[in-house]
Structure 1
Amino acid sequence: MLKNMIKALYNRNYRIFFAGQGLSIIGTWIQNIALSWLIYRLTDSAFMLGLVAFIGQIPNFVLVPFAGVWIDRWSKRSVLVVTQLLSLVQASLLAWLTLGNRLEIEHILLLSLLLGCVTAFDVPARNAISVEMMDTQDERQNAIALNSVTYNMARLLGPSAAGILIPIIGEGYCFLLNVASYFISVISLAALRLKVSNDEKQHDNMLQHFQAGYAYTFKQLPLRNILVLLGIISLTAMQYTVLLPVFVSQKLGASAGTMGFLMAVAGCGSLVAAIGVTARSEFQGLEKLLVVAAATIGFGLISFMLPGSLWFSSVLMFILGVGFLILVVGSNTLLQCMVNDSMRGRVMSFYTMTLMGVGPIGSLLAGFLASQIGVIYTLAIGGVCSLAGAAYFARHLAVFRLQACPIYVQSGSLSSRDECRF
């Protein structure tokens, strides 16, 4: 059982990648929580939280589709080394300005935009390279699940550490810790021993390369419906993390430590779900779990309207952590099992655009709505939209299974149509 859950870690390259990226993501979470608290402390504005999130994530909507073309044309490791070094520079500038008491909201907006541009190339490259390290389909599926374990372990440890460290050492030194994590990430990438691909890289017309990836992704109903559901959730529901400082301050009357605690609880929920997904050896049937996950997110967000305490909020955060993990990992797994290696960078760029690029529009909208109607009603609207997305996806499940079968066979995830379960 345990061996099946960690089979990807028997691969030397993935072991190194897993450790390096894990530490880097912990540092990123520490920086994110510290920055959110710093913004709210400086501005006392829910709208400003939404604006900074919008500025930092909108490049994922604009640049990611074209980033996917570059990722399929060049060495994924080289792309990641560059993105991690640029992220290191961004974190260093943020720390320098904060520790020197020179940080203004304009600096935060510019540095958030810089990091957003870098992330547009970093995330799809990271998703693609971790899967391509694997030799078998079982290992690939396990690697996808372990990537989520890495992310959610970081989501558990990073906010917890930030909640403890912010009152003790301040936001500036939290940013410095993120700088150190990027150093470790770059070293781990340099230590990888990757096979030289014999496939000829395409360096012809980039527009045609992009159009081919777009057609491959959106003209196939299974891939398209996964991205539609993910897009609905990203636009309307994932902003609960952006609004968390407002909720903690206004509704719970608490501090950064409580915010870190609630984020850690959500991370625990995601970690529990990730372990369950890791133990799962069958990717068929995940489409039904996507419906359950979207419905869980919907009911969880609506439940914030009920009278509650810190402990009730913790239960809801745990449930949301489970729901979001299953939705994100299930979508990633199904897409990766459908895609050919030659299209992997482009398809994962559209996945990243949907997951992280649509979010900034939702963040800006959520920040505005929270300032007008309150954070509770804003969360409830996200919950209703999540339930609508679940209903849409459930309506097309039969067609999804029927049309996904030949795609699985073509990508090599299944050897024949006889293995399909309708």
Structure 2
Amino acid sequence: MPMAKPVALQHMFRSLSGRDFRIYFFGQVVSLVGTWVQQVALSWIAYRVTGSAFMLGLIAFSGQIPMLLLTPVGGMLSDRMSRRELLLITQYAEMAVALLLAVLAYRGAMAPWVLVVTAILSGVAAALEMPTRQAFVTEILHDPRHMSNAIALNSLTFNVARLAGPAVAGLMLAAFGDVVCFSLNAASYIAAIISLWMIRPAKHVERTRGGGLREGLEYLRSFSPAAWLIGAVAAASFCVSPFMTFMPVYAKDIFKGGPDMLGTLMGASGMGALLAALILANRKTVFGLGRYIWRGFLLCGIASLGFAHNTLLTFALPLLVASGFSLITIVTSCNILLQTLVPENLRGRVMALYTMSFIGMLPVGSLLMGSVAHHFGVQTTFLISGLASLAMFYVLRNVLPTLKEKAMPVLSAKGLFPE
């Protein structure tokens, strides 16, 4: 009995036994904490400068729309060139944007147009980075048996940062101001850059010599399980957009707080996301993840409807934990299944489509929900989100058996069978 806990922890973090993935993991944790510090600081500054929920949506749209337009370029580059070199280029670019924000904040030049332009610049770099990062995991993971665990831990790095970043941002904003937040993010990229230089990725990785995004789309058209996974990620991204966009409104106007309150709200969502990532990391098989996806939509719908007209912080925090848990349950389960099913020569482009669905759908949701909030109030956006989530729960629960039947031949060919 005394050994049960260490064994469980060893199993949960089993992919960290590999040198390259371990270095990559810890480098990304540091860098992503800085990214979340900057993101929270920007959202707070945007609402402080403009006082407009619509401007929050517009700035979020500006940072996320490159994901929708340029992620295919990142996916094609990922399938044609060194993924480590491409990641290094994006890290240098994002560090430069963070330094620019620090200088502009120091000079007091944080006008709305500045926030929009810097959001676009960050979005362009991220559009090239995200699909490459997703595909790069398979290159530095030298034991294929750890694939699902590594993908879950890759999600864990994001969510550890999501939990720590808002809390750090709230403290930094309250104690030192926005200049320190942006400077901290710039410094955090050093960890990611050093870790990428230290990694020795696989030398013989299959690369495509031609084709484009069309081949990825053709794969989705011909293999419906992958298409449904991409669709589920897009729906989840849309449904959680109010939680991602309007927390400054709740922090300032409903809960009468400041940047520390914003950090608390976003940290609660991050706590739920972290819990979901840990549960998924502890799983031994990809079988059963389909049920996780539709249950995630059910939970998201309940959380959104409950949050809509709530004015009590006591109830808001557990609902935010539920929203974060549901989002990461859905998108990470889809990621694990997709990376398990997709052919290696299409991995970069298919993961570009995944990124477009996850991150790229956020600007659509942010802009649409920002307009709805402007005309009908922020609470209405949560009602819409909740009803859409429940609709997805109903559809996915009914279509799952057919999708599983179509996916089984691919899983069996890879030596994966239900336990």
Specify if TM > 0.5.
yes
Written as runs of structure 1 = structure 2, the 5 A alignment for 1:151-230 is 151-197=158-204, 199=206, 201-204=207-210, 208-230=211-233
1:219: how far off?
Answer: 2.5
Q: Select the residue among 127, 130, 134 that pairs with 2:137.
A: 130
Q: Select the residue among 49, 54, 64 that pairs with 2:56.
A: 49
1:328: how far off?
Answer: 1.3
> Do the aligned partners of 1:54 and 1:359 also contact (CA within 8 Å) in 2?
yes
Q: Which residue is 1:97 aligned to?
A: 104
Q: Does residue 305 of structure 2 align to residue 302 of structure 1?
A: yes
> Do the aligned partners of 1:90 and 1:114 also contact (CA within 8 Å) in 2?
yes
C-alpha distance 228-195 of structure 1, shift in aligned 2 (>3 A)? closer
TM-score (norm 1): 0.95
Q: Which residue is 1:63 aligned to?
A: 70
- Mapped to 2, the partners of 1:222 and 1:202 lie a distance apart of 23
> Do the aligned partners of 2:20 and 2:141 also contact (CA within 8 Å) in 1?
no
TM-score (norm 2): 0.95
1:66: how far off?
Answer: 2.7
Q: Which residue is 1:19 aligned to?
A: 26
> Do the aligned partners of 1:46 and 1:367 also contact (CA within 8 Å) in 2?
yes
Q: Does residue 373 of structure 2 align to residue 366 of structure 1?
A: no
- Mapped to 1, the partners of 2:105 and 2:415 lie a distance apart of 49
Letter in 2 for 1:2: L
- Mapped to 1, the partners of 2:294 and 2:395 lie a distance apart of 9
- Mapped to 2, the partners of 1:218 and 1:300 lie a distance apart of 33
> Do the aligned partners of 1:22 and 1:151 also contact (CA within 8 Å) in 2?
yes
1:239: how far off?
Answer: 3.0
C-alpha distance 104-5 of structure 1, shift in aligned 2 (>3 A)? same
Q: Which residue is 1:332 aligned to?
A: 335
> Is the partner of 1:63 in helix, strand or coil?
helix
- Mapped to 2, the partners of 1:261 and 1:307 lie a distance apart of 16
Q: Deviations over 1:316-342 (max 9, x none)?
A: 011111111101110111101101211
- Mapped to 2, the partners of 1:96 and 1:413 lie a distance apart of 54
**Which stretch shifts more, 306-315 or 153-162?**
306-315
- Mapped to 1, the partners of 2:239 and 2:337 lie a distance apart of 22
1:112: how far off?
Answer: 0.8
Q: Which residue is 1:389 aligned to?
A: 392
Detail structure 1 runs of 4+ shifted over 6 Å in the superposition.
none
Q: Does residue 404 of structure 2 align to residue 401 of structure 1?
A: yes
> Is the partner of 2:68 in helix, strand or coil?
helix
- Mapped to 1, the partners of 2:191 and 2:27 lie a distance apart of 6
Q: Which residue is 2:42 aligned to?
A: 35
Structure 2 unaligned spans of 5+: 1-7
Q: Which residue is 2:260 aligned to?
A: 257
Q: Select the residue among 326, 349, 354 that pairs with 1:351.
A: 354
> Do the aligned partners of 1:138 and 1:281 also contact (CA within 8 Å) in 2?
no
Q: Deviations over 1:4-46 (max 9, x none)?
A: 1111111100111001111110000000000000000000010
Question: CA-atom RMSD, angstroms?
Answer: 1.4
Letter in 2 for 1:319: A
> Do the aligned partners of 2:139 and 2:205 also contact (CA within 8 Å) in 1?
no
- Mapped to 1, the partners of 2:214 and 2:228 lie a distance apart of 19
- Mapped to 2, the partners of 1:399 and 1:140 lie a distance apart of 25
Q: Which residue is 1:319 aligned to?
A: 322
> Do the aligned partners of 1:137 and 1:413 also contact (CA within 8 Å) in 2?
no
> Is the partner of 1:194 in helix, strand or coil?
coil
> Do the aligned partners of 1:247 and 1:375 also contact (CA within 8 Å) in 2?
no
> Do the aligned partners of 2:251 and 2:265 also contact (CA within 8 Å) in 1?
no
- Mapped to 2, the partners of 1:382 and 1:406 lie a distance apart of 35
Count of matched residue positions in the alignment of Structure 1 and Structure 2? 412
Q: Which residue is 1:273 aligned to?
A: 276
1:90: how far off?
Answer: 0.6
**Which stretch shifts more, 347-356 or 233-242?**
233-242
Q: Deviations over 1:257-309 (max 9, x none)?
A: 11101111111111112111111101111001100001100110000135441
- Mapped to 2, the partners of 1:390 and 1:92 lie a distance apart of 43
> Do the aligned partners of 1:337 and 1:413 also contact (CA within 8 Å) in 2?
no
C-alpha distance 198-339 of structure 1, shift in aligned 2 (>3 A)? closer
Letter in 2 for 1:145: A
Q: Which residue is 2:4 aligned to?
A: none
- Mapped to 2, the partners of 1:198 and 1:395 lie a distance apart of 38
1:203: how far off?
Answer: 3.5
Q: Deviations over 1:230-265 (max 9, x none)?
A: 212212333312111012222212211111011111
> Do the aligned partners of 1:156 and 1:265 also contact (CA within 8 Å) in 2?
yes
Q: Which residue is 1:9 aligned to?
A: 16
Q: Select the residue among 222, 231, 234 that pairs with 2:234.
A: 231
Q: Which residue is 2:86 aligned to?
A: 79
> Is the partner of 1:102 in helix, strand or coil?
coil
> Is the partner of 2:137 in helix, strand or coil?
helix
Letter in 2 for 1:17: Y
- Mapped to 2, the partners of 1:198 and 1:357 lie a distance apart of 28
Q: Does residue 275 of structure 2 align to residue 289 of structure 1?
A: no
